[in-house]
C-alpha cells in the first residue's frame, strides 16, 4: 500500500552508472561496433520473455502446490528464494493474490522500484509518470487501457512498491487447467499479469 516513508536510494544510486552505460553505448554505436537494433532486441527479450519466466514459475508453483502458496503468503521472500530467485530489488518481497472479489495492481509512485529477480527488466510504461500517477487515481481506467475490463463490483487494490518492499501479483488460475504441469501453467503467466495490468491467459489447448 502507499507508504509515506517511501525511500528510493536503492534506485537513485544507479543514475551515474546508467549514464555511463548510455555514453558507452553511444560511442560503440558511432564506431560501428554495435547495432542499436540488436541491443533493443536483446533488451526486449529479457524484458518480456526471459526475465518474467522466473516469476511465472513462482505463480505456477503457487497454483499447483497449496503448501508453497501458503508459504508465499506468509513470507514471499523466503518462498521465492527457495526456487533460486534472489538478487537485486528482490530482497524483500510480498505476494498478493487475486481473488474472485479483488484484483491487485502494483505501482511505484515515486520512481520505479521493481522486483527484477522475478520479473526481469521493468517495462518502459511502468517507469512513466503517467502510469505512476494514474494507477493510484484511476486504477480501473488504467486497467481498461491495458485491455483488462473488470466487473464493477470487483475491488481493485493498489500496492505501492518501495525500496524496502516489492510486490508480486499472483493472478487467478484459469479454469480448465486441472492436471497441467507447472511448465504448462507457467506458460499462461505474463509479466503484466504479475504486475496486475494483465490476467493469466485463458486456458484452451494445453501448451
Q: What is the mean pLDDT of the chain?
A: 84
Compare 89 and 173 and report the one with higher pLDDT.
Answer: 173
Compare 47 and 24 and report the one with higher pLDDT.
Answer: 24
Compare 155 and 43 and report the one with higher pLDDT.
Answer: 155
Mean pLDDT value of segment 118-135: 91
State pLDDT tens for residues 41-57.
Answer: 666 665 555 568 999 99
Residue 138 has pLDDT above 60, yes or no: yes
Task: Report the topology of domain 34-195.
Answer: Nitrile Hydratase; Chain A (3.90.330)
What's the pTM?
0.76
Compare 123 and 38 and report the one with higher pLDDT.
Answer: 123
Catalytic: 111? yes
Given this model, what pLDDT does residue 21 score?
Answer: 62
Nearest Cα to 100, choosing from 8, 199, 183? 199
Given this model, what pLDDT does residue 181 score?
Answer: 97
Mean pLDDT value of segment 130-154: 96
Q: Tell me how far apart the alpha carbons of residues 63 and 161 are, in angstroms, rounded to a whole number.
A: 24
Given this model, what pLDDT does residue 26 score?
Answer: 77
Q: Is 72 exposed, middle or buried (0-12, 13-18, 19+ CB in 10 A)?
A: buried
The separation between the first and the last C-alpha atoms of the chain, rounded to the nearest angstrom, is 35
Helix (H) or strand (E) holding 180: none
Band of the pLDDT at 176, cuts 50, 70, 90?
very high
Q: Tell me how far apart the alpha carbons of residues 70 and 116 are, in angstroms, rounded to a whole number.
A: 23
Q: Which of 64, 82, 112, 161 is catalytic?
A: 112
Given this model, what pLDDT does residue 6 score?
Answer: 44
Q: Tell me how far apart the alpha carbons of residues 179 and 110 are, in angstroms, rounded to a whole number.
A: 42
Band of the pLDDT at 58, cuts 50, 70, 90?
very high
Residue 137 has pLDDT above 60, yes or no: yes
Q: Which of 64, 113, 117, 190 is catalytic?
A: 113
Domain ranges of the chain: 34-195
111 is in an annotated binding site: yes
Mean pLDDT value of segment 75-104: 88
Q: Which of 64, 108, 117, 161 is catalytic?
A: 108
Catalytic: 113? yes
Band of the pLDDT at 5, cuts 50, 70, 90?
very low
Amino acid at each position: 500500500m502507499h507508504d509515506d516513508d517511501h525511500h528510493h536510494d536503492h534506485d537513485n544510486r544507479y543514475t551515474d552508472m546508467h549514464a555511463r552505460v548510455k555514453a558507452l553505448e553511444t560511442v560503440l554505436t558511432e564506431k560501428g561496433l554495435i547495432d542499436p537494433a540488436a541491443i533493443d532486441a536483446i533488451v526486449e527479450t529479457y524484458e518480456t520473455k526471459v526475465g518474467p519466466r522466473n516469476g511465472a514459475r513462482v505463480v505456477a508453483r503457487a497454483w499447483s502446490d497449496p503448501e508453497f502458496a501458503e508459504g508465499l503468503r506468509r513470507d514471499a521472500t523466503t518462498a521465492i528464494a527457495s526456487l533460486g530467485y534472489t538478487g537485486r530489488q528482490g530482497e524483500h518481497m510480498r505476494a498478493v493474490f487475486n481473488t474472485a472479489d479483488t484484483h491487485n495492481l502494483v505501482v511505484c509512485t515515486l520512481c520505479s522500484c521493481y522486483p527484477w529477480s522475478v520479473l526481469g527488466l521493468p517495462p518502459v510504461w511502468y517507469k512513466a509518470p503517467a502510469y505512476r500517477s494514474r494507477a493510484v487515481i484511476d486504477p480501473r481506467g488504467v486497467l481498461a487501457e491495458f485491455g483488462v475490463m473488470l466487473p464493477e463490483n470487483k475491488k481493485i487494490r493498489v500496492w505501492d512498491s518501495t525500496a524496502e518492499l516489492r510486490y508480486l501479483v499472483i493472478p487467478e488460475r484459469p479454469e480448465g487447467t486441472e492436471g497441467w504441469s507447472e511448465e504448462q501453467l507457467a506458460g499462461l503467466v505474463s509479466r503484466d499479469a504479475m504486475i496486475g495490468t494483465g490476467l493469466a491467459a485463458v486456458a484452451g489447448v494445453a501448451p
